[in-house]
């Protein structure tokens, strides 16, 4: 007897009472003003899909569900506790199974499936970045914006370290808690300087950082797109590679961290659940130790919360504690600091116009800030590149860095690294 396929589970949407409190929290609704681009409107569409009243190939349904950033900004403001994220994930998996990805999405997701494809591709991008051309060619058009994204991935200082560099030596006392660095794909190739800052700041706070070979892309881009099989395959490889590696698995990319923490749910195995329980964002591990204060950095810094850190992982205070350990740093939260930047995995590649419309709302708040920040700090590669490109396109001379880069620079000034 063959097992009957299980029906897609939309029960997390059951508590919705259609009050509309979520509408002002939704970046796509704010950008278009269209109810169908709001959480409430999308819930109505998903329910109609569930009941078979709308087909999985309905153009309007696809347009409005595809336009969702998956930022989860609608969840914390919902008084009924609707699990919007689980609902849209169910819809995406249902639609992916039915129609497959678009050719562009298939190509991008295919690149991230294989280390031997994305690593050379991002290595070439890093060489291009090193020529300085992306900085010169950055602008507001589509090509210029892409150049701005690449330029924004560069180390903020010449001392940023060699991208992708592996740790050269064992660190800290043998009895210190051990931390395995999750390297990822974009982080490992374009943000090696953030990995280096992560290692140094963790060591300065009493952790011993260890290297683990055999890691692959976390699978978040695939999961986000509804390609569950690819996400599961990548997750299984990481669970195998990282099993028993250290007391903690540290992640400095909010999007990767959110999925690694959900590996237990994704794979449903004991090993995946055990691993997920050891995953921490770098800010959480640092905040657990204070972190120790560094030297003075007299900067106006606007913190911008990545959606997958604040909403998916519910990490709010730890990044502020990291920045609070830098004497002289004046920390600010601008009105748009909790709103999505429009990056959202591969969303900005697939839907560049909506991504830019969402980003523009945030860029406006930087432009209008008084005093204007010197630096924006945010802990996710997509946000770093998207916001950085947006600032360049708007002609705003504001640097974008990961919070650990500021703590790292502060430790250098205090000569903590010797
Ligand atoms: S998702 Fe929550 S906030 Fe939005 S309409 Fe439904 S009950 Fe109201
Ligand atoms: S996940 Fe983000 S874009 Fe999607 S409905 Fe919720 S708030 Fe809007």
Which tens digits make up the pLDDT trace of 303-322?
A: 999 999 999 999 999 999 99
Whole-Å CA distances, 89 to 65, 76, 269, 298: 10, 17, 20, 43
Is 31 in contact with 41 (CB distance < 8 Å)?
no
Reported as a single tens digit per residue, the pLDDT across 94-109 is 999 988 899 999 999 9
Burial of 74 (0-12, 13-18, 19+ CB in 10 A): buried
Q: The domain containing residue 74 runs over which residues?
A: 11-99
Task: Compute the distance between CA of residue 202 and CA of residue 124 in angstroms, rounded to an integer.
Answer: 30
Reported as a single tens digit per residue, the pLDDT across 107-155 is 999 999 999 999 999 999 999 999 999 999 999 899 999 999 999 999 9
Task: Compute the distance between CA of residue 387 and CA of residue 355 in angstroms, rounded to an integer.
Answer: 11
Give the residue from 32, 64, 99 where a domain finishes: 99
Q: Is the C-beta atom of 72 inside 6 A of ligand 2?
A: yes
Is 214 in contact with 146 (CB distance < 8 Å)?
no
Which distant-in-sequence residues (6+ apart) come within 8 Å of 19 by Cβ?
A: 79, 80
Q: Is the C-beta atom of 186 inside 6 A of ligand 1?
A: no
The total number of structural domains in the chain stands at 2
pLDDT band at 157 (very low <50, low <70, confident <90, very high): low
CA nearest neighbour of 184 among 211, 217, 231: 217
pTM comes to 0.92
Query: Which ligand is nearest to the Cα of residue 80, counting in written order?
Result: 1
Calculate how far, in angstroms, residue 23's C-alpha sits from the geometric centre of ligand 1. Answer: 8
- Sheet containing 178-181, strands listed edge to edge, beginning at the edge strand earlier in sequence: 208-210, 178-181, 248-251, 279-281
CATH classification at residue 301: 3.40.50
Reported as a single tens digit per residue, the pLDDT across 5-17 is 578 899 999 999 9
Compute the mean pLDDT over every residue in the chain, rounded to the nearest whole number: 93
Span 410-414, average pLDDT = 96
Q: Is the C-beta atom of 319 inside 6 A of ligand 2?
A: no
Residue 317 has a pLDDT of 97
Could you tell me if residue 238 is inside a domain? Answer: no
pLDDT band at 156 (very low <50, low <70, confident <90, very high): confident
Span 8-32, average pLDDT = 96
Q: Is the C-beta atom of 13 inside 6 A of ligand 2?
A: no
Of 51-55, 281-285, 322-326, the range with the lowest mean pLDDT is 51-55
pLDDT band at 163 (very low <50, low <70, confident <90, very high): very low
Question: Backbone phi, then psi, for 399, in 5-degree steps?
Answer: -80, 150
Could you tell me if residue 358 is inside a domain? Answer: yes
Closest ligand 1 atom, CA of 81? Answer: 2
Residue 117 has a pLDDT of 94
* 360: three-class secondary structure by DSSP: helix
Reported as a single tens digit per residue, the pLDDT across 322-378 is 999 999 999 999 989 999 999 998 999 999 999 999 999 899 999 999 999 999 999
Could you tell me if residue 257 is inside a domain? Answer: no
Q: Is the C-beta atom of 17 inside 6 A of ligand 1?
A: yes
Calculate how far, in angstroms, residue 352's C-alpha sits from the geometric centre of ligand 2. Answer: 16
Q: Of all residues in the chain, what percent carry a pLDDT higher than 70?
A: 94
Give the residue from 51, 74, 99 where a domain finishes: 99
Is 241 in contact with 201 (CB distance < 8 Å)?
no
* pLDDT score of 383 more than 90: yes
Closest ligand 2 atom, CA of 42? Answer: 5
Q: Is the C-beta atom of 84 inside 6 A of ligand 2?
A: yes
* pLDDT score of 402 more than 90: yes
CATH classification at residue 91: 1.10.1060.10
Of 145-159, 222-236, 240-254, 257-271, the range with the lowest mean pLDDT is 145-159
Which distant-in-sequence residues (6+ apart) come within 8 Å of 52 by Cβ?
A: none
How many CB atoms are located within 10 Å of the residue 54 CB?
A: 17
* pLDDT score of 158 more than 70: no
Task: Compute the distance between CA of residue 169 and CA of residue 350 in angstroms, rounded to an integer.
Answer: 41
Q: Is the C-beta atom of 72 inside 6 A of ligand 1?
A: no
Give the residue from 49, 81, 99 where a domain finishes: 99
Is 65 in contact with 45 (CB distance < 8 Å)?
yes
* pLDDT score of 173 more than 90: no
Closest ligand 2 atom, CA of 340? Answer: 2
Task: Compute the distance between CA of residue 37 and CA of residue 27 in angstroms, rounded to an integer.
Answer: 9
Span 254-267, average pLDDT = 97
Could you tell me if residue 20 is inside a domain? Answer: yes
Calculate how far, in angstroms, residue 266's C-alpha sits from the geometric centre of ligand 2. Answer: 21
* pLDDT score of 206 more than 60: yes
Q: Is the C-beta atom of 91 inside 6 A of ligand 2?
A: no
> Both tokens of residue 73?
């900004």
In this structure, which residue's CA is closest to atom 8 in ligand 1? 19
Which distant-in-sequence residues (6+ apart) come within 8 Å of 88 by Cβ?
A: 42, 46, 65, 68, 70
Calculate how far, in angstroms, residue 332's C-alpha sits from the geometric centre of ligand 1. Answer: 30
Half-sphere exposure of 96 (CA within 13 A, CB side): 21
Could you tell me if residue 87 is inside a domain? Answer: yes
Q: Is the C-beta atom of 78 inside 6 A of ligand 1?
A: yes
Span 250-255, average pLDDT = 98
């Amino acid at each position: 007897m063959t097992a009957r396929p299980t029906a897609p589970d939309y029960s997390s949407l059951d508590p919705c009472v259609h009050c509309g409190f979520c509408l002002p929290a939704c970046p796509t609704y704010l950008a278009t003003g269209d109810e169908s681009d709001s959480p409430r409107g999308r819930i109505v569409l998903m329910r109609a899909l569930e009941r078979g009243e709308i087909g999985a190939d309905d153009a309007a349904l696809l347009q409005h569900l595809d336009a969702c950033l998956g930022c989860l900004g609608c969840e914390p403001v919902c008084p009924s506790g609707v699990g919007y994220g689980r609902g849209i994930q169910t819809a995406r998996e249902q639609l992916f199974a039915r129609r497959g990805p678009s050719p562009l999405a298939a190509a991008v997701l295919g690149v991230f499936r294989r280390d031997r494809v994305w690593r050379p591709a991002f290595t070439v991008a890093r060489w291009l970045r090193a020529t300085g051309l992306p900085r010169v060619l950055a602008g507001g058009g589509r090509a210029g914006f892409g150049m701005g994204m690449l330029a924004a991935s560069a180390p903020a200082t010449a001392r940023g370290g060699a991208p992708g560099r592996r740790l050269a030596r064992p660190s800290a006392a043998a009895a210190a808690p051990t931390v395995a660095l999750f390297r990822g794909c974009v982080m490992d190739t374009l943000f090696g300087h953030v990995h280096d800052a992560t290692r140094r700041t963790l060591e300065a706070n009493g952790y011993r950082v260890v290297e683990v070979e055999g890691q692959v892309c976390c699978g978040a881009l695939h999961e986000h797109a509804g390609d569950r099989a690819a996400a599961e395959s990548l997750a299984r490889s990481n669970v195998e590679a990282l099993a028993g590696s250290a007391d903690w698995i540290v992640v400095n990319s909010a999007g990767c961290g959110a999925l690694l923490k959900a590996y237990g749910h994704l794979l449903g195995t004991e090993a995946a659940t055990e691993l997920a329980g050891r995953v921490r964002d770098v800010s959480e591990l640092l905040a657990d130790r204070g972190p120790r204060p560094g030297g003075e950095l007299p900067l106006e810094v606007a913190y911008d919360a990545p959606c997958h850190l604040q909403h998916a992982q519910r990490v709010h205070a730890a990044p502020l504690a990291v920045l609070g350990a830098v004497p002289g740093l004046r920390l600010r939260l601008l009105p748009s600091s909790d709103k999505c930047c429009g990056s959202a995995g591969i969303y900005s590649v697939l839907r560049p116009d909506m991504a830019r419309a969402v980003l523009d709302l945030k860029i406006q708040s930087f432009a209008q800030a008084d005093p204007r920040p010197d630096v924006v700090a945010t802990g996710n590669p997509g946000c770093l590149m998207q916001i950085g490109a947006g600032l360049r396109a708007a002609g705003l001379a504001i640097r974008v860095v990961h919070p650990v880069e500021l703590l790292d620079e502060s430790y250098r000034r205090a000569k903590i690294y010797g």
